[in-house]
Structure 1
Amino acid sequence: VPVLRRSAPVTSMSTRRTARVAAAIRQVVSTAILFELRDPRVANVTILHVEVPVDLRTAKVYVSIMGEKKDEVLCLQGLNSARGWLQSKIADELDLRYTPVLTFVADQGVKKSIEVSKSLRELHMEDEQEDEQEVQEDEQEDLTDEIGEEESPTD
């Protein structure tokens, strides 16, 4: 009979620790990118959040990159080439048994929300223009009706 081994249960203490470590990694990485990284490919990038598993051996860094698709690809290449340097920054700043291996992921959420907002604004502008045009047409009809009443003889 095979013995099934269960991993250690996830306690609130371990989830709090991973949340603290994720926040610390986010702080170290964003500060290093903002003030120390000199790669011209890495521009217009924002660190949104970091996901760290309970074992703290890896970290997914979600980034938002403004610009075109080619800018996004170049920025991700720059971040990936600076991965080792950023990991050494984490090792210097944080007291962890293992330095997490960083993985950078482009988060499309911010871009999508900007696109949706822009589309809604355009729809709102179109509705306002249609409403304005209807008001002008109604005013024109009212003027035409008034002129027609003045010209017709009353019995």
Structure 2
Amino acid sequence: MANPRAKKLADRIKEVIAKRLDKGLRDQRLGFVTITDVQVTGDLQHASIFYTVYGTDEERADSAKALERAKGMLRTEVGRNINSRLTPSLEFIPDGIPENAMHIESLLKEAAERDADTSSQAAGAQYAGDADPYVKPREIVEDEETN
């Protein structure tokens, strides 16, 4: 979205839809929805709206249905509040950021546990052979002189 006009329009659409959702919809299925991002195509004809829903998987599915059903009303609201000849079509896309963050968090926790296990194993470990198995150059010279 290199077009500065598209960026401004995306910001305005995000604000308009967030305010409208804050007022509420008549659909009782709509949960606690947060608009995370809006991307508008370069020709300003289509807007992809990314959102997250706080709650269970069932509440997420119900909120997705409610947003899909209210798409026309929300597009009308956007058309009233932007200064553009054409109102872009709207597409609601669930944002995967929370799930990705939880996955990364679990991976970091697992890595920390493995590090702790490795550290505890290393604390009681002993060398398999000598502590320093490498022959030093001085030792070779001293060995030759003694022979």
User: What TM-score does the superposition give when structure 1 sets the normalisation length?
Assistant: 0.67
Matched, 1:120 2:115: no
1:103 maps to: 91
Per-residue Cα deviation, 1:55-105 (whole angstroms, up to 9, x for no partner): 212111011223333322211110011111111111111121111111101
Identity %: 24
Q: CA separation of 1:45/1:122 partners in 2, compared to 1, >3 Å: closer, same or farther?
A: farther
For 1:80, the equivalent position in structure 2 comes to 68
Instruction: Please state how far the C-alpha of 1:52 moved relative to its aligned partner.
Output: 0.8
Whole-angstrom CA distance in 1 between matches of 2:17 and 2:113: 41
Partner of 1:147: none
Is the counterpart of residue 71 in structure 1 residue 59 in structure 2? yes
The change in CA–CA distance for 1:36 and 1:65 in structure 2 (over 3 A counts) is: closer
**1:17-63: per-residue Cα shift (whole Å, max 9, x none)?**
00000000011011111223243322122111111112212111011
Letter in 1 for 2:4: R
Instruction: Tell me how far 1:133 sits from its aligned partner.
Output: 7.3
SS of residue in 1 equivalent to 2:38: strand
Structure 1 residues 91 and 54 mapped into 2: Cα distance closer, same or farther (>3 Å)?
Answer: same
Aligned residues: 124
Matched, 1:52 2:26: no
Q: Any residues of structure 2 matched to 1:28-39 within 5 Å, and which?
A: 28-39=16-27
Matched residues in 2 for 1:82 and 1:47: separation? 15
Q: 1:34 to 1:95 in 2, by over 3 A?
A: same
Inter-partner Cα distance in structure 2 for 1:110 and 1:49: 13
The DSSP-based 3-state class of the residue aligned with 2:101 is: helix
Unmatched 5+ stretches in structure 2? 125-147
CA-atom RMSD in angstroms: 2.6
SS of structure 2 residue aligned to 1:21? helix
Distance 1:127 1:31 in 2: 46
Q: TM-score, normalising length from structure 2?
A: 0.70
